[in-house]
Chain A
Amino acid sequence: MTTNATECLLQLCDEQFQLEDYQSGVPRWCSGCGDNAILAAVQRLCRDEALRPEKTVFVSGIGCSSRFPHYMKTYGFHGIHGRALPVAEGVKMARPDLTVFVNTGDGDCCSIGAAHWIHAIRYNMNLTVFLHDNQIYGLTKKQASPTSPIGTKSNTTPRGSYLEALNPVSVTLGVQNVSFVAQAVDWIPEVLFDIVKAAYHHRGLSFVRIVQRCPEWLPKSFDPWLHDPNRVQILAHANGLHPSAALSRTYKNQLEHDPSNIHRARELAGDSVNIPVGILYRNPEVPCYEDLIRPDLLRTPELTRSVLDSEMDKYTIWP
């Protein structure tokens, strides 16, 4: 596709931005909440990539995590529970010149918005999606979510949740047209940042599941992984993460994984003992829906007049 009406307005000069240019207000998340780390990584990304704040939109649903856009000094859209993805798709369809991010919780994305999630993967629009997966409903005060591990005690499952957890990475990898899937944990900022950055640079729907701590409702849930770095498996590859020497000293459990290998990605995603962290899958060849569906035309009055006239000709009775 060529020019979109709004793209002519792109400013072409290089500009420098500071972190403050993206910071807005004081986050109201609990202290120790993993959302803070995600915010820090994303603000850093914006600065490093010099994203113009007015050309950047963060779209979210409802939940603790969906408060995210309020803390960004960009455009933001804090919508309704479960519908962040379709809103973001609309923004992107209307304005391919905007950079669009989505922040969604495990309830938001994998429960009430699950249909939109599946279809967003299929549409493969150029969006960067962060799933803030704290395995619980945070905002509504501790109810089991689809990603809560079986046996999770919550206000709706006081004797432990009944069902196996849904694995959002496996699900995403199972959908046609999937083009980018990564997994991060909020407590390794360096890797989180690298993944966020890779996701941003992928053209298509980049889906990043971030295992996000909720010290308020599940203070101990993530301990096994925090206390035993070997249960975090770093996926490294020339086309993926390049773990630093310092990181490798702590996180010794590393695996070469080629992100173009979807079968291997699916196997890794299913690991119930370790959390694989890195880029599981990337395919830059999957077409983006907006490129397929958006005609290469400017909606001018002249064009409208001529098309309307020729359409009406089909139905006209001339005197």
Chain B
Amino acid sequence: MRESTLRDSPREPAPTTLAPTDGRNVVTLTEHILEIISDSGEGAQKCGQSFGSIAAQMGNGIWTTEIIPAEIRPPARSVAGASGNRIRIGAGPVTNGGDETDLVVAFNEQVLLGRVRAKELKPGCTILLENMWRTDGDPTVVASYVETHDRLVAAGFRVIEIPMEQECRKLVSDPRRGKNMFALGMLCRLYSLDLKLAVDQVVLAFGKKDRKVVDANISLLEAGHRWAAAHLDFCYRIPAVRATEPQIVVNGNTAIALGVLASGMEICAMYPITPATSVSHYLSDVFEKVGGVVHQAEDEIAACAFAIGASYAGKCTVTVTSGPGYSLKQEALGLAVMGEIPLVVVNVQRGGPSTGQPTKVEQGDLLTTLFGSHGDAPKVVIAPATIEDCFYSMITARRIAETFNMVVVVLSDASLATSQQPFPRPKFSEAWMAPPVDQSPVPKGAQPYDWDENTGLARRFIPGQPGGMHTLTGLAHDRDSHVAYDANTNEQALRARSLKLAALQRTLAAPTVFGDAAGDLLVIGWGSTKGAIEEAVASLRAQGRRVSSMHLRFLQPLPSGIKEILRGFQQVLTVENNWSDRPEDPIIDETNRRYAALAMLLRARYLVDIDCFTEDRGQPIKPSTIRRVLEAKLNSIDRRPATPDPVPASPTRTGRATQEGRKS
């Protein structure tokens, strides 16, 4: 299996030196992480995305991650202004962004510093640095450049200065536009990617512009390639196997938008908010081709109410948002629950609370999604774990919403939203689409809330259906949709709305376990952490550690079978990208520790002492971090630590594990 070769191999494999074909060494690697960063507006994003696409076409596994500054136009040459893309490229499938970067192309030393300070670069990694600043007219710029350069060299980085600006100037008057293509050419050479594919990529990227622009970019690309061939004495090869099935390469937000297209939904109501908006950008471009409408409402409350109105009228609708907007929708979501109106809500989570970290990842909205809106407001909650899941979750969500007349919340996050990973091209099925709006007459005597005794389900009457006239109300109501405040009716209705979750749960398959069904430690995750968790688990399993993992896509209802799975393990740990109190904090103990969202949910449901490890740094959790945490946890379970535990006894063993993880 290709996956296991990737996982089992050490991060920096012993280089295999091939016979030099053109007088230099070609080093074969199983994987590498590279990034390209610039001031925003200099095109590093595009360069990185193109590189990812080319590598994917070669048959390499890739995972691309956007590097986004918090501001639209941060000042030029600022430490916090790095904009670009990070590509993890592998010989086999790549399921997550991985650990630190091995090679970086930087357009100035300041954005590079930002990445060094954030500890995103591997010690000693290769840095290809634009050298124009060495001869800048402004002496402070020169000083800053030289100082940074020298410090990095002293710190052991392999810094290679590149005259990108100078070389580009030979071809174009304004290298700010086009340097990225020079860099792409260089990278293609360094990673032995097919230059022909790169040219195609440029044609695709600039195809809409005039021929001159395309030609200029191609010549820059080729110049970069030539320059690297002539001046760099190393290059890499990462074996690739072309997929046998067509693959598509998109980020999670595009996948969601494609899913909306495929699901047969007709209306998307939204209000702009990072990092959810690109779903609507894409839909706005294409939705009308299938008869769809994107409504940009005046705010998220209106967007949600609009979606509810459209759904009520028979066209199941999606509303797309992120944290702050999701909070605003809560009252309206309760109305949809109460009225039993199908509705699909996408929450692309970002860092919270409040405005928080708009461009950064956090899995912070699980509990508010499970329990949000006042009163008992049961809704379905699903969390895509991969880019592919983002696509299919929309089809599933629409189907469940309409079958059960429920609100279905899809919890994606900023990491899935902006990362790309190839997945098999979906084959459209008519069954994905909503049936036509039911306009058949309603039989005499039928009631709008004729709750089934066992499942709570009721047939919905849609405006236009003769004989189905009733007033839907957010007030407590009886089977006729008449306002009713009596105690029995209230309980009947609450029961029916709650039973629907159980009815859905009965149809769900038990989650699968990654690894053996029994062992010392079970790791549980949800959402975008899947790839990193499984990578860490696989590498420990390869060393014989008894650890497995399970990833939950349905968070409400939780599928059956979980309790049995938990029984197979001595200890259980959730790994989540959100906040939980650190057991080593002096005033935190078992009586006041706030657990991570999923841990809290599972503890409550299964009465199992489930621990959690969380990181809340606005970045995906690295597989190496998870690995270290799991190793420490496993050591504490084994009671034969691989390395002596330096930490004095803390209240719980699990506490030690968590502490180990944090030190990393």
Which residues of A are at the interface with B, using a C-beta cutoff of 8 A? 5-6, 9, 24-25, 53-55, 57-59, 62, 69-70, 72-80, 83, 85-95, 97-98, 115-116, 118-119, 293-295, 297-299, 301, 303-305, 307-309, 311-312, 315-319
* Per-position binary interface string of chain B over residues 204-221, scored 1 when its CB falls under 8 Å from any chain A CB and 0 otherwise: 000000000000000000
Interface segment, one of B24-32, B145-153, B303-311, B559-567:
B303-311
Contact between A78 and B474 (Cβ–Cβ < 8 Å)?
A: yes
Question: Which of A9, A74, A95, A315 is in CB contact (< 8 Å) with B249?
Answer: A315
Q: Does B124 contact A (CB under 8 A)?
A: no
A to B contact number (C-beta, < 8 Å): 213
Q: Does B48 contact A (CB under 8 A)?
A: no
Q: Does B286 contact A (CB under 8 A)?
A: yes
Contact between A317 and B249 (Cβ–Cβ < 8 Å)?
A: yes
Ranked nearest first, the 9 interchain pairs of A and B with the lowest CB-CB distance are A90-B309, A76-B471, A297-B291, A86-B305, A94-B310, A90-B310, A87-B309, A90-B306, A86-B302
Contact between B266 and A86 (Cβ–Cβ < 8 Å)?
A: no
Question: Which of B250, B303, B425, B463 is in CB contact (< 8 Å) with A75?
Answer: B463
26 contacts between A and B (CB under 8 A): A6-B439, A9-B464, A24-B471, A54-B468, A57-B463, A69-B471, A70-B471, A74-B469, A79-B335, A80-B305, A80-B331, A83-B302, A86-B306, A90-B317, A91-B309, A93-B309, A94-B311, A95-B314, A115-B299, A293-B295, A299-B264, A301-B433, A308-B426, A312-B426, A317-B249, A318-B246
The distance from the CB of A213 to the nearest CB of chain B, in whole angstroms, is 24
A76 and B264 in contact, given A90-B309, A317-B422 (Cβ under 8 angstroms): no
Q: Does B172 contact A (CB under 8 A)?
A: no
Q: Does B117 contact A (CB under 8 A)?
A: no
Question: Which of A5, A70, A304 is in CB contact (< 8 Å) with B428?
Answer: A304
Contact between B464 and A78 (Cβ–Cβ < 8 Å)?
A: no
CB nearest to A57 among chain B residues: B463
Question: Which of A94, A295, A315, A318 is in CB contact (< 8 Å) with B250?
Answer: A315
Q: A119-B302, A295-B291 are in contact. List 4 more A-B contacts (CB 8 A).
A: A87-B308, A94-B313, A298-B291, A307-B261
Q: Does B648 contact A (CB under 8 A)?
A: no
Q: Which residues of B contact A97 (CB under 8 A)?
A: 464
The distance from the CB of B7 to the nearest CB of chain A, in whole angstroms, is 23
The distance from the CB of B464 to the nearest CB of chain A, in whole angstroms, is 6
* Per-position binary interface string of chain B over residues 438-452, scored 1 when its CB falls under 8 Å from any chain A CB and 0 otherwise: 010000000000000
Contact between B302 and A115 (Cβ–Cβ < 8 Å)?
A: yes
Contact between A317 and B428 (Cβ–Cβ < 8 Å)?
A: no
Assembled-state Cα–Cα distance A5/B288 (Å): 15
Q: Which residues of B contact A115 (CB under 8 A)?
A: 298-299, 302
CB nearest to A68 among chain B residues: B471
Contact between A94 and B298 (Cβ–Cβ < 8 Å)?
A: no
Q: Which residues of A contact B56 (CB under 8 A)?
A: 317
Assembled-state Cα–Cα distance A271/B307 (Å): 39
Assembled-state Cα–Cα distance A24/B469 (Å): 10
A54 and B288 in contact, given A70-B473, A309-B428 (Cβ under 8 angstroms): no
* 8 Å CB interface, B244-266 against A: 244-250, 254, 258, 261-262, 264, 266
Assembled-state Cα–Cα distance A94/B482 (Å): 25
Q: Which residues of A contact B464 (CB under 8 A)?
A: 6, 9, 54-55, 95, 97-98
Say which size band chain B's interface belongs to.
Answer: 35 or more
Contact between A78 and B472 (Cβ–Cβ < 8 Å)?
A: yes
The distance from the CB of A243 to the nearest CB of chain B, in whole angstroms, is 35
Q: Which residues of A contact B244 (CB under 8 A)?
A: 319
Q: Does B459 contact A (CB under 8 A)?
A: no
Which residues of B are at the interface with A, using a C-beta cutoff of 8 A? 53, 56-57, 242-250, 254, 258, 261-262, 264, 266-267, 269, 286, 288-293, 295, 297-299, 301-303, 305-315, 317, 331-332, 334-335, 339, 422, 425-426, 428, 430, 433, 436-437, 439, 463-475, 482-483
Q: Which residues of B contact A301 (CB under 8 A)?
A: 264, 430, 433
Assembled-state Cα–Cα distance A297/B266 (Å): 11
The distance from the CB of B447 to the nearest CB of chain A, in whole angstroms, is 15
CB nearest to B468 among chain A residues: A54
Q: Which residues of A contact B339 (CB under 8 A)?
A: 77
Q: Which residues of A contact B249 (CB under 8 A)?
A: 315, 317
The distance from the CB of B2 to the nearest CB of chain A, in whole angstroms, is 16
Task: Please indicate which of the listed interface residues B57, B266, B303, B317 has the most CB atoms of chain A within 10 Å of its own CB.
Answer: B266
Contact between B309 and A77 (Cβ–Cβ < 8 Å)?
A: yes
The distance from the CB of B612 to the nearest CB of chain A, in whole angstroms, is 36
Contact between B471 and A90 (Cβ–Cβ < 8 Å)?
A: no
A116 and B463 in contact, given A80-B474, A299-B290, A316-B425 (Cβ under 8 angstroms): no
Question: Which of A24, A85, A87, A299 is in CB contact (< 8 Å) with B266?
Answer: A299
Contact between B426 and A311 (Cβ–Cβ < 8 Å)?
A: no
Q: Which residues of B contact A90 (CB under 8 A)?
A: 267, 269, 305-313, 317
Q: Which residues of A contact B303 (CB under 8 A)?
A: 86
Contact between B309 and A297 (Cβ–Cβ < 8 Å)?
A: no
CB nearest to A302 among chain B residues: B430
The distance from the CB of B598 to the nearest CB of chain A, in whole angstroms, is 31
Assembled-state Cα–Cα distance A117/B292 (Å): 25
CB nearest to B437 among chain A residues: A6
Contact between B306 and A93 (Cβ–Cβ < 8 Å)?
A: yes
Contact between B291 and A316 (Cβ–Cβ < 8 Å)?
A: no
Assembled-state Cα–Cα distance A308/B430 (Å): 12
Question: Which of B299, B312, B469 is in CB contact (< 8 Å) with A91?
Answer: B312
Contact between B306 and A87 (Cβ–Cβ < 8 Å)?
A: yes
Contact between B267 and A307 (Cβ–Cβ < 8 Å)?
A: no
Question: Which of B298, B425, B468 is in CB contact (< 8 Å) with A312?
Answer: B425
Question: Which of A25, A70, A295 is in CB contact (< 8 Å) with B293?
Answer: A295
The distance from the CB of B411 to the nearest CB of chain A, in whole angstroms, is 23
The distance from the CB of B594 to the nearest CB of chain A, in whole angstroms, is 32
Contact between A98 and B313 (Cβ–Cβ < 8 Å)?
A: yes
A304 and B293 in contact, given A95-B314, A317-B57 (Cβ under 8 angstroms): no
Contact between B246 and A311 (Cβ–Cβ < 8 Å)?
A: no
Q: Which residues of B contact A318 (CB under 8 A)?
A: 246
CB nearest to A89 among chain B residues: B306
Assembled-state Cα–Cα distance A240/B545 (Å): 85
Assembled-state Cα–Cα distance A301/B434 (Å): 9
Assembled-state Cα–Cα distance A295/B301 (Å): 25
A116 and B298 in contact, given A70-B473, A76-B472 (Cβ under 8 angstroms): yes
Contact between B475 and A78 (Cβ–Cβ < 8 Å)?
A: yes
CB nearest to B341 among chain A residues: A77
Contact between B302 and A54 (Cβ–Cβ < 8 Å)?
A: no
Q: Which residues of A contact B466 (CB under 8 A)?
A: 54
Q: Which residues of B contact A91 (CB under 8 A)?
A: 309-310, 312-313, 463
Q: Which residues of A contact B475 (CB under 8 A)?
A: 78
Contact between B305 and A54 (Cβ–Cβ < 8 Å)?
A: no
Assembled-state Cα–Cα distance A315/B266 (Å): 23
Contact between A54 and B467 (Cβ–Cβ < 8 Å)?
A: yes
Q: Which residues of A contact B474 (CB under 8 A)?
A: 62, 78-80
Q: Which residues of B contact A293 (CB under 8 A)?
A: 293, 295
